[in-house]
Amino acid sequence: MTTLREDLLPVFDDARTLIDDLGLRTSSVTIRVVTWTGGAEGPEVRTGTPTVADLVLSPRPRVRFADSGTGLVVDKITPTGPGGIGYTPAQLNPAPTLQPGQEVYYVVDGPEGEHWYAAATIDYRRNFGYTLHLTGLTRPVPY
């Protein structure tokens, strides 16, 4: 027997897909894992040849500036649910399972261009939406 939450997750996902289709989400969010071949000491980040694996969040989540003005809040990410919708915590935060020679960062492509971010915190506590708090690795002007 499914729970009310599991029954409602597809509804939330469909609504977010509709908002995305209407063009109301102007920023795309990609979780990028880069695997480096490494050097004489073995696999090592930023050494050797990189292989990129991207996970583009779909439907597009909502992206807002953090209250501090120097990071982003990415929310309205559907948790994993029936029918293969949504994302698991492990997908949103690959850091704990990275292998030697791997790095992860978040690519947000929005009105100010493409910039890279690292995850400061990830909130999994809400029933129908996960939230990423991102801190900038590249800093768009003016801040």
Partner 1 sequence: MPLDASPVGPLQIPVDGGGYLSTLGDPVALALLDYLGFWLKDSLDGQLSQLPGTSADACPAGNRYAFNPDTYFVRNTFPALYVWWDGKSTRQYHTLLFERRERTMHALYVYEELVAPSGIRARAGLPAAVDAIFAKASERGRHPGFGLGAAPPGTPLWQSLGLLKFDYDGGQAGFIAKIPNTSPVPGGPPEGSIVRGYPALRGTFTVWERIDPATTQDPQDLAGDVLVNIATNESGDLDNSVDVMDRYAPAPDGSDALGE
Residue of the chain from 70, 90, 124, 140 that contacts partner 1 (CB under 8 A):
70
Residue of the chain from 95, 107, 109, 115 that contacts partner 1 (CB under 8 A):
95
Q: 66 or 107, CB closer to partner 1?
A: 66
Phi/psi of residue 58, each to 5°?
A: -140, 135
Number of residues this chain uses to bind partner 1 (CB under 8 A): 32
Hey, which residues does 79 pair with through a beta bridge? Answer: 87
| Region 7-26 residues binding partner 1, contact defined as CB under 8 A | none
Q: Is 49 in the site for partner 1 (CB under 8 A)?
A: yes
**x/- map, 97-126, partner 1, by CB under 8 A:** -x-xxxx--------------xxxx-----
Q: Which two tokens stand for residue 40?
A: 């004489």
Q: 3 or 68, CB closer to partner 1?
A: 68
Q: Which residues here bind partner 1, judged by CB under 8 A?
A: 36, 38-42, 44-50, 66, 68, 70-71, 95-96, 98, 100-103, 118-121, 133, 135, 137, 139
